[in-house]
Amino acid sequence: MFTMLHSQQADGYKLWLKYDKIENSELLNEYAEIVSSIYFKDDNDILKNAKKEFSLALPQMLNKQVKYSSNISSDNSLIVDVYENLPNDLKDLVGNDIEVLTDEGFIIKSLTYKKKSITIISAKKNIGILYATFRFLHLMQTHKKLKSIDLVDSPKVDLRMLNHWDNLDRSVERGYAGFSLWNWQKLPEYIDQRYIDYARANASIGINSTVLTNVNANALVLTPMYLEKVEALANVFRGYGIKVYLTARFSAPIEIGNLETSDPLNPEVEKWWSNKVAEIYKRIPDFGGFLVKANSEGQPGPQNYGRNHVDGANMMATALKPFGGNVIWRAFVYSEHDDTDRAKQAYDEFLPYDGKFKDNVLVQVKNGAIDFQPREPFHPMFGAMKKTPLVIEFQITQEYLGFSSHLVFLPKLFEEVLDSDTYQKGKGSTVAKVIDGSLYGNTLSGIAGVANIGTDLNWTGHPFAQANWYGFGRLAWDPDLSSEKIADEWLRATYSNNQDFIEPVKNLMLTSREAVVNYMNPLGLHHIFDTGHHYGPGPWVDNLGRPDWNPVYYHQADANGIGFDRTPSGSNATEQYASYLEKTFNDINTIPEEYLLWFHHVPWDYKLQNGNTLWDGIALKYQEGVNDVTHMIQTWDNAKPYLNDSEYNEVKMLLQIQLKEAKWWRDACLLYFQTFSKKELPEGVEKPTQSLEYYKSLKFPFAPGIRPQWD
Amino acid sequence: MFTMLHSQQADGYKLWLKYDKIENSELLNEYAEIVSSIYFKDDNDILKNAKKEFSLALPQMLNKQVKYSSNISSDNSLIVDVYENLPNDLKDLVGNDIEVLTDEGFIIKSLTYKKKSITIISAKKNIGILYATFRFLHLMQTHKKLKSIDLVDSPKVDLRMLNHWDNLDRSVERGYAGFSLWNWQKLPEYIDQRYIDYARANASIGINSTVLTNVNANALVLTPMYLEKVEALANVFRGYGIKVYLTARFSAPIEIGNLETSDPLNPEVEKWWSNKVAEIYKRIPDFGGFLVKANSEGQPGPQNYGRNHVDGANMMATALKPFGGNVIWRAFVYSEHDDTDRAKQAYDEFLPYDGKFKDNVLVQVKNGAIDFQPREPFHPMFGAMKKTPLVIEFQITQEYLGFSSHLVFLPKLFEEVLDSDTYQKGKGSTVAKVIDGSLYGNTLSGIAGVANIGTDLNWTGHPFAQANWYGFGRLAWDPDLSSEKIADEWLRATYSNNQDFIEPVKNLMLTSREAVVNYMNPLGLHHIFDTGHHYGPGPWVDNLGRPDWNPVYYHQADANGIGFDRTPSGSNATEQYASYLEKTFNDINTIPEEYLLWFHHVPWDYKLQNGNTLWDGIALKYQEGVNDVTHMIQTWDNAKPYLNDSEYNEVKMLLQIQLKEAKWWRDACLLYFQTFSKKELPEGVEKPTQSLEYYKSLKFPFAPGIRPQWD
């Protein structure tokens, strides 16, 4: 029925901020009592936005208007203000809790004040109040008891960033949810409501930084015409505690500055960047800084002038320092003149620079050493680079994970990486501790996620991809959160609080990442995607300009076996890990099987732990992936009673694409690998319905997310 | 307040199908009585969709559930069914009205049946019921009395078509409302709710054909991979009476058919197209046919093989004929080897072919002979080409009208063209009569509009651009409708029925088109837009590859005067019009002043009808355009009490862009033309704030809607 379809449109747009009416009367009474009289100071933009959120959410959830008082009085059931504005007797009651907060932290506490039970929301700074507001409303949305709440929370990571790979023509590199939110043509005058709702969504999960432009950068964004537009966005985002960053094209001094060089040690170049930075801060006093991809995949950089990454990063850091800005320098580099295993190159290149970067430089490292595969071992730079704050870069957009057609709950992947133990400072030296700065005492810390957000009505293309945006933000706030808790929170805020719905669907989410590993890249296989667009399988591809762009380079299948030997008999990439891990990975008997073919070239008849041969094991894993998706569909079908037609149909259609494509992956990969193994498919694996030639013939020239040709 | 902003998002998405609750209790009672018991047969997809629309709309407008009966009974207050299913006594009552209907027409009538007042909605075919349903609901939305309704209506034009200039990468050539609705990547499995709502919107205004792809065509859409996706869209649209057309790239037999030629007289080529057509109809039995841009602006065509347009069109027509499909062949051609005034070339090329096309060929002609300018005299082919059905092509998207930032109510432009008298069969031979086929008795007729629809939440970028989509559909249904009536209908359905709101805002709409003519191209000036993107003024541009791509070619400004001489002393384009018009246009004393510089090169000190010199007159017209926009802003400000914050702000921000750009047009054009006239600006014209060099320096490499580079 159309009524439902229409309302669902709006629902998808609202993300996890739906604020549905609460039907449970007990909860309703509890909440109504808590907010029966609110003191909420809103004398600045951030607090105004916080109070607006209250005014939007409470009447919807509680189905009644809410009363605000203009002074703190004994009538108030809820008091919301920053610590320094509280009356002294209230300060005394919460002082200890406030003390432990960071500038972004907050408290939400039930206490007895003037002999009355009240709730207080407070923080050191305005932004803490905004974060607390969203958390408080979220707790109501997810039907948590609030009567005796005692919540003291601060983010563990400083920079919680989205990276938008958005081009000025509004195409989005690796974007699968439509096109760029930034309507440059109508900026600065026209402020799309989407900018505000984007900021609300981010603030609700604690994201505090956004890089508006693609790392494959265009210098034009640094010209006055575009800076005026960036300023308009920054003005919106500031009220939600979000700082704007831009990508800085290293050759900008030549392209837009009329200089003949962009040599970082050239005084004219240094001056140009200093002036440019001053120009930006004049417009945007809280500008975050630059994200730079240099000397990587064709981007210009300091090496064009015989300089190195430290020279480049420090030159920009010097320009930004007086204004409090940061340089975030990407470590995703590999040289076209170096045939070393690509997995080793970033470590080799950057480790010697440890300790040489200025203190406002962070080095941003992808979660794994190759490129956002369904599964990779953690990047060996984590833990090894001890004096430099490392930002971990996750990809929320699903470049190698089925685009926005596949349901894959990525917090499971993020959690796996963050929980990985680097052993670099003994057992327990997890990636999370490297990132939050606690392992080596860094003064700056950061987590970045390549955004999966676009102009699609539901923002992310797949309704469940909203959970990846949500989960990224939650993990950036607290890298120790469990993916299970995140799935639970998101499902409740997005779909339903009904436990009979949540349990099976949460399980579906938590198993979905292993499913995609199984049907795409089991047992440590990686980078066997079709050329350019990375849509679908292309393990046979061997014709690209560089060896390490070709899938055959990564799987190394031959008559004997399959897998990339990264032990001492091969590229010895294992040497970049702490010695305990190096040994574990080198030994085929101790290596976790999920990384087997990442590190070892293994004979087809090698016996896996479960007794299967490698060939049978690979084939059965592919089949298992397909079976996983079939099971996901069953789970979704069973959840139908808890969904409206549109909610049900939307995901069902997408799951059917996922099933079709899972089978495509299985059939194409197995047929191809079979040309080496010469072995039959084991029992339990469905026979392919098409020939290998058919799969090889498939071409997708207009698959979304391809790097634009002007670049 | 966010509540409003949120609801407005949904409102923009809903277009003119908002179905707001009716507050007027008298009307509410009248309507409630009419629909108190409904018989609505829905035994096929079209009727199901009609009934769904009832079920969506009535409960919202009337704030109560509506009762349907499964048989016609004496209880029924409203009976909805096709004529042949009606009981005989009812048939007798409406038979005469039904008889005059076309297959798409309908009746909505109050009558006395079995001594009871009832309303009947009937038609010859299901599609008529669907159209009647939307009209009936629209009449309620716009608060019309329905108690004694007697409406008998049929469309006057057969093919009421949207042309989407949508590329397979989802960019939209000349698109300013985001990107293509067609998410090829997720088709055929994923049916976006937008496809359904797009079809609903079109059906509600009688649009019955859609060309999914750009006239600058890509042959890939004719491959099975894409045809499967087209089929999925056709399956959705069929239920709303909409036929799908595709653009056919003339060289497709080479590009996807492995042939070495696409010579239309080559038997292999003929066979290839016949097979391709059969393949399409197997998937889409009601496929509409092909729209073809051939031998124009670099597109391949029959002339590549020494053949002509008739050869090309008839070859495709032969392939389509057995299945009932049409060829729509575009007449927008101009030769790179011909330096004849471009305004003359299409006429010269096509007139000799009149009578030579097969009967399922229509020739599609732009409304004017140049290219969708703010104002053009009607294309001389209209009325002159007597034996060939001509489809008029309007541009709903605002390529030359300020993109989606300028409020320009285009039905005013469409009406001006349709009402133009060609005099080709004596006085009263209007373009409308040529197009609806009544002038020459054509058996096929059509109106096409280049769509302004994209992925923007509100579909068209500017909220008022929705009125251009709406108005196009209404005029395609009835080319004699007044733009005033259309504005009234649209405002009521979209914003408010309050007369105090409607009158001034309707006036704003009706004057908006003259405003844009004034501040961009007054007195017959044309094609003085900046290169490529056509964003903003570029009258100085003189460096493009062909003379007739350059603004200087079109305005011919020099020390003596300005304007393009199309009289016998010049290109003699006037000879292509009927002799009465030819004389009128040739004589500077009789030519309507709005076409003055279109047809005449006029001295700067020529006296206009109001006594001003031409130079002063041009300058004052530019100023008048700016003043018009200032006045529009005042009108909008006065309308604020009738709008919610978000409705008000959205349009206000856009009007401010429009004002800024109107001034830009005025200043840039006058500064440039002043270099020829050497005269001061007259009193009343504001002084430019920037230099001519400044305006010339502006560059917009990422302006939206540019033709993609892969083409």
B-chain residues near A6 (CB < 8 A): 10, 14, 56
State whether A261 and A147 are in the same domain. Answer: no
Catalytically annotated residue among A399, A565, A650, A661: A399
| A477: its two tokens | 């706030």
Collect all residues of chain B within an 8 Å Cβ-Cβ radius of residue A178. 178-179, 455
Nearest by Cα to A149 from A140, A157, A161: A140
Residues with Cβ within 8 Å of B410's Cβ and at least 6 positions away in sequence, in order, are B394, B396, B398, B401, B468, B471, B472, B513
Q: Does residue A237 share a domain with residue A124?
A: no
Greatest Cα-to-Cα distance within chain B, rounded to the nearest angstrom: 82
Nearest to B3 among A56, A654, A657 (CB): A56
Distance to chain B for A189, nearest Cα, Å: 6
Chain B residues lying within 8 Å of A660, measured CB to CB: 189
Q: Is residue B322 part of a domain?
A: yes
Residues B173, B88 share a domain:
no
The pLDDT of residue A545 = 83
Q: If residue B151 lies in a helix (H) or strand (E), which one and from where to where?
A: strand B150-153
Alpha-carbon distance of B377 to B524, in angstroms, equals: 9
Of A5, A168, A191, the CB nearest to B653: A191
Q: Is residue B41 part of a domain?
A: yes
Quick one: which H or E segment has residue B122? strand B116-122
Whether residue A8 is predicted with pLDDT greater than 50 in this model: the reply is: no
Q: Please count the other Cβ atoms lying within 10 Å of the Cβ belonging to residue A261.
A: 14
**What is the nearest CA distance from A92 to chain B, expressed in angstroms?**
35
* Residues A466 and A532 reside in one and the same domain: no
Domain presence at residue A199? yes
Mind listing the pLDDT tens digit for each residue in A26-67?
Answer: 999 999 999 999 999 999 999 999 999 999 999 999 999 999
Chain B residues near residue A51 by CB distance under 8 angstroms: none
**Side chain identity at residue B467, one-letter code:** A
Contact B10 A8 (CB under 8 A): no
Provide the pLDDT for residue A10.
Answer: 58
User: How much helix, strand and coil, in percent to the nearest 5, is found in chain B?
Assistant: 45, 10, 45
Kindly give the parts of chain B with pLDDT less than 50: 1-8, 710-711
Find the mean pLDDT for residues A153-167: 98
Contact A2 B702 (CB under 8 A): no
Residues A201, A206, A209, A214, CA torsion sign: negative
d(CA A62, CA A46): 24
Q: Are residues A464 and A535 in the same domain?
A: no
ipTM of predicted assembly, 2 dp: 0.96
Closest-CA residue of chain A to B177: A183
Which residue from B216, B571, B667, B581 is spatially nearest to B370, judged by alpha carbons? Answer: B571
Tokens of A485: 């808790």
CA distance B179 to B157: 29
In which band, very low, low, confident or very high, does the pLDDT at A318 lie, cut at 50, 70 and 90?
A: very high
Cβ contact B708:B167 at 8 Å = yes
Closest residue by Cα to residue B365 from B386, B387, B350: B350
Q: Which one of A2, A190, A455 has the shortest CB-CB distance to B455?
A: A455
Chain B residue with minimal CA distance to A186?
A: B405
Distance between CA B670 and CA B445 in Å, rounded?
43
A503 lies in a domain?
A: no
Q: Do A185 and B456 touch (CB under 8 A)?
A: no
How many A-B residue pairs are in contact by the CB < 8 A criterion?
A: 123
Instruction: Name every chain B residue with its beta carbon within 8 A of the beta carbon of A168.
Output: 701-702
Among the partner residues A2, A185, A710, nearest to B403 by beta-carbon distance: A185
Interface test with A, best of B1, B4, B9, B60 (most A CBs within 10 A): B9
B59 and A168 in contact by Cβ < 8 A? Answer: no
CA B626/CA B638 separation, integer angstroms: 19
* Residue A86 pLDDT exceeds 80: yes
Q: What's the pLDDT score for residue B709?
A: 52
* Same domain as B60, residue B23: yes
Q: If you ran DSSP here, which 8-state letter would residue B682 be given?
A: P
Distances (CA, A) of B23 to A19, A643, B20, B154: 28, 32, 9, 31
d(CA A25, CA A507): 29
Taking the C-alpha atoms of residue B178 and residue B461, their distance in angstroms, rounded to an integer, is 7
In this complex, the residue of B184, B405, B704 whose CB is nearest that of residue A702 is B184
Last residue of a domain, which of B127, B153, B179?
Answer: B153
Q: Do A702 and B405 touch (CB under 8 A)?
A: no
Q: Provide the pLDDT for residue B708.
A: 60
Alpha-carbon gap, residue B471 to B463, rounded angstroms: 13
Which CATH number fits the domain that encloses residue A659? 3.90.1330.10
DSSP at A478: -
The whole-angstrom separation of Cα A536 and Cα B225 is 15
Q: Residues near A503 by Cβ (< 8 Å), separated by ≥ 6?
A: none
Note the pLDDT of residue B707.
72
Cis bond leading into B188, ω under 30°?
yes
Q: Are residues B223 and B331 in the same domain?
A: yes
Query: Which are the catalytic amino acids of B?
Result: 297, 371, 399
Contact B648, B516 (CB under 8 A): no
The nearest alpha carbon in chain A to B656 belongs to: A189
Q: Do A701 and B6 touch (CB under 8 A)?
A: no
CATH number at residue B483: 3.20.20.80
Residue A579 Cα distances to A167, A425, A427, A574, angstroms: 42, 11, 12, 9
Q: Of A97, A122, A153, which residue constitutes the final position of a domain?
A: A153
Distance of CA A281 to the CA centre of its chain: 27
Residue A694 Cα, gap to closest chain B Cα (Å): 13
Does residue B28 sit within a domain? yes
d(CA B487, CA B501): 12
B582 within some domain:
no
Nearest chain A residue to B646, by CA: A193
Residue pointed to by tokens 């709303």: B240
Picking from A519, A493, A546, the residue whose alpha carbon sits closest to that of residue A620 is A519
Domain assignment present for A178: yes
Which residues are CB-contacts of B262 (< 8 A; sequence separation ≥ 6)? Answer: B250, B251, B252, B253, B254, B269, B300, B304, B305
Question: Has residue A573 been placed in a domain?
Answer: no
- Bin A241: left if φ > 0, else alpha if -120 < ψ < 50, else beta: left
Distance (Å, rounded) from C-alpha B382 to C-alpha B422? 7
Which residue in the list A297, A354, A593, A594 is annotated as catalytic? A297
Q: Is A215 helix (H, G, I), strand (E, B) or coil?
A: coil
**Cα angle A177, A178, A183; round to 5:** 125
- For residues B524 and B389, state if they share a domain: no
Closest listed residue to residue B385, CA positions, set B425, B333, B334, B428: B425
CA distance A550 to B709: 27
Q: Nearest CA to CA, how far is A170 from chain B (Å)?
A: 9
Beta bridge partners of B39: B69, B79
The residues that bridge with B122 in the sheet, in sequence order, are: B107
- Closest residue in A to B457 (Cα) is A457
CA dihedral sign, ordered A563, A569, A574, A579: positive
Total domain count, chain A: 3
Q: Cα separation of B204 and B197, whole Å?
A: 10
CB-nearest to B179 from A53, A178, A194 is: A178
State whether A249 and A171 are in the same domain.
Answer: yes
Q: How far apart, in whole angstroms, are the C-alpha atoms of residue B536 and residue B663?
A: 11
Identify whether the C-beta of residue A177 lies closer than 8 Å to the C-beta of residue A404: yes
* Cα angle, residue A106 at apex, residues A388 and A85 outer, rounded to 5°: 120
A489-507: pLDDT as tens digits: 999 999 999 999 999 999 9
Q: Do A653 and B189 touch (CB under 8 A)?
A: yes
> Which among A2, A13, A650 has the least Cβ separation from residue B9?
A13
**Are residues A477 and A527 located together in one domain of the fold?**
no
Compare CB distances from A703 to B185, B189, B457 and report the shortest one's residue: B185
B505: three-class secondary structure by DSSP: helix
- Nearest-CA distance B653 → chain A (Å): 5
Mutate to test the interface with A, among B702, B706, B711 (most CBs of A within 10 A): B702
Tracing tokens 């090169």 back to the chain, one arrives at B601
DSSP E strands in A511-639: the ranges are 561-562, 602-603
CB B262 within 8 A of CB B300: yes
Residue B174: both structure tokens together: 């000349």
Determine which of A2-6, A342-346, A548-552 has the lowest per-residue pLDDT on average: A2-6
Q: Which amino acid, one-letter code, is at A373?
A: Q
CATH number for the domain spanning B61: value is: 3.30.379.10
Provide the residue range defining the domain that includes B91.
14-153
CB distance A59 to A18 below 8 Å = no
Whether A439 and A473 share a structural domain? yes
Tokens standing for residue B462: 């500017």
Residue B448 and residue B328 in contact, taking contact as beta carbons nearer than 8 Å = yes
Contact A55 B1 (CB under 8 A): yes
Query: Final residue of a domain: which of A103, A122, A153?
Result: A153
Whether the per-residue pLDDT at A2 is higher than 50: the answer is no
- At A266, list the tokens: 């050239």
Tokens linked to A710: 């002007």
Partner residues linked to A394 by β-bridges: A449
Query: Using a CB-CB distance cutoff of 8 angstroms, which residues of chain B are in contact with residue A179?
Result: 170, 178-179, 455
d(C-alpha A301, C-alpha A329), whole Å: 11
Mean pLDDT across chain A, nearest whole number?
Answer: 96
Q: What angle do CA A686, A688, A694 make, to 5 degrees?
A: 165
Could you report the per-residue pLDDT of A369-378, keeping only the tens digit for each?
A: 999 999 999 9
Q: Is A53 a catalytic residue?
A: no
Q: Rounded to the nearest 5°, which phi and psi values hold at B142?
A: -100, 15
Q: What is the dihedral of CA B517, B521, B526, B532, to 10 degrees?
A: -90
Contact B702/A184, CB-based, under 8 Å? yes
Tell me if B70 sits within 8 A of B263, measured CB to CB: no
Residues A443 and A556 in one domain: no
Q: What is d(CA A290, CA B381) in angstroms, rounded to the nearest whole number?
A: 58
Instruction: Please list, in sequence order, all residues whose beta carbon lies within 8 angstroms of the beta carbon of residue A547, skipping any fewer than 6 positions away.
Output: A339, A553
State whether B2 and A220 contact (CB < 8 Å): no
User: How many C-beta atoms surround the C-beta of residue B254 within 10 A?
Assistant: 17
B316 sits in which H/E element:
helix B309-320
Contact yes or no for B656 and A56 at CB 8 A: no
Strands A116-122 and B326-330: unpaired
Q: Which of B20, B183, B190, B659 to mutate to test the interface with A (most CBs of A within 10 A)?
A: B190
- Cβ-contact A488, A504 below 8 angstroms: no
Please give the share of chain A, as a percent, with pLDDT higher than 90. 94
A2/B56 Cβ within 8 A = yes
> How near does any CA of chain B get to the CA of A197, in Å?
9
Distance from CA of B461 to the nearest CA of A (A): 10
Chain A nearest-CA distance from B169, in A, is 5
